[in-house]
Amino acid sequence: MLEQDRNKWRFLVIGCGSIGKRHIKNLLSLGAAELLAFDVRSESRLEVEESLRVKTVGQLEAAWQWAPNVVLVTTPTSLHVPLALESAARGCHLFIEKPLSDRWENIDLLLTEARHHRLITLVGCNMRFHPGLAVMKKLLDERAIGRVIAARIEVGQYLPDWHPWEDYRQSYSARRELGGGVILDAIHELDYARWLLGEVASVICCAEKLSGLEIDTEDTAALLLRFQSGAIGEIHLDYVQRAYSRTCQIIGDQGTLHWDYTTGQVRFYSAHNQQWQTYTNPSEWQPNQMYLDEMAHFLNCLAGTEKPVLDLFEAAQVLQLALAAKVAARERRWIDLGDNAWNPNTTL
CATH of the domain at 140: 3.30.360.10
* pLDDT at residue 178, as a whole number: 85
Per-residue pLDDT averaged across 85-99, rounded? 98
Same domain? For 278 and 211 the reply is yes
- Indicate whether 346 pLDDT > 70: no
Instruction: Summarize the confidence of residues 225-246 as an average pLDDT.
Output: 98
Q: What type of residue sits at position 198? A: G
Average pLDDT over residues 283-301: 97
The answer as to whether 40 is a domain residue is yes
295 vs 130, 252, 275, CA distance in Å? 13, 33, 37
How many C-beta neighbours within 10 Å does residue 114 have? Answer: 20
Q: Quick one: pLDDT at residue 144?
A: 98
Tens-digit pLDDT profile for residues 49-61? 999 999 999 999 9
Q: Which of 124, 134, 141, 139 is nearest to 297 (CA)?
A: 124
Average pLDDT, the chain: 95
Same domain assignment for residues 244 and 180: yes
Q: Which of 78-87, 200-209, 334-343 has the lowest mean pLDDT?
A: 334-343
169 & 55 share domain: no
**Both 116 and 158 in a single domain?**
no
What is the DSSP code string of 293-317? HHHHHHHHHHHTSS--SS-HHHHHH
Same domain, 167 and 188: yes
Domain membership of residue 287 (yes or no) is no
The bridge status of strand 220-227 relative to strand 200-208 is antiparallel
Say if residue 260 is in the same domain as residue 143. yes
- Domain assignment of residue 243, yes or no: yes
336: β partners: 202
Residues 6+ apart with CB under 8 A from 323: 103, 104, 344, 347
Q: Are residues 251 and 115 in the same domain?
A: no
- Domain hosting 210: range is 127-282+318-336
Please say if the pLDDT value at position 347 is more than 60: no
For residue 4, what pLDDT is reported?
A: 54
Fill in the DSSP letter of residue 260: E
Give yes or no: residues 100 and 132 share one domain: no
Question: 51-73 burial, b for 16+ CB within 10 Å, e for fewer?
Answer: ebebebbeeeeebbeeebbbbbb
Here the CATH number for the domain that contains residue 15 is: 3.40.50.720
Total domains in the chain come to: 2
347, part of any domain? no
- pLDDT attached to residue 126: 98
For residue 203, the model assigns a pLDDT of 98
Q: Does the structure show a pLDDT above 60 at 340?
A: no
pTM recorded for the entire structure: 0.94
CA end-to-end span of the chain: 41
Is 219 contained in some domain? yes
Same domain, 194 and 332: yes
Q: What is the pLDDT of residue 6?
A: 55
- Checking if the pLDDT of 199 tops 60, the result is yes
* CA-only gyration radius of the chain, Å: 20
Q: Is residue 345 part of a domain?
A: no
| Range of weakest confidence among 115-119, 163-167, 242-246 | 163-167
Residues 120 and 261 reside in one and the same domain: no
Please state the φ and ψ torsions of residue 286, each to the nearest 5 degrees.
Answer: -130, 155
> What confidence tens digit (pLDDT) does each residue in 122-154 have?
999 999 999 999 999 999 999 999 999 999 999
Cα–Cα distance measured from residue 15 to residue 232, given in angstroms and rounded to the nearest whole number: 38
Does pLDDT of 2 surpass 60?
Answer: no
Same domain, yes or no, for 9 and 114? yes
Do residues 192 and 58 share a domain?
A: no
Residue 66 lies in a domain: yes
User: For residue 83, is it within any domain?
Assistant: yes
CA dist., res. 348 & res. 338, Å (int): 20
pLDDT-based confidence at residue 65 (cuts at 50, 70, 90): very high
User: For residues 80 and 14, what is the distance between their CA atoms, to the nearest angstrom?
Assistant: 10
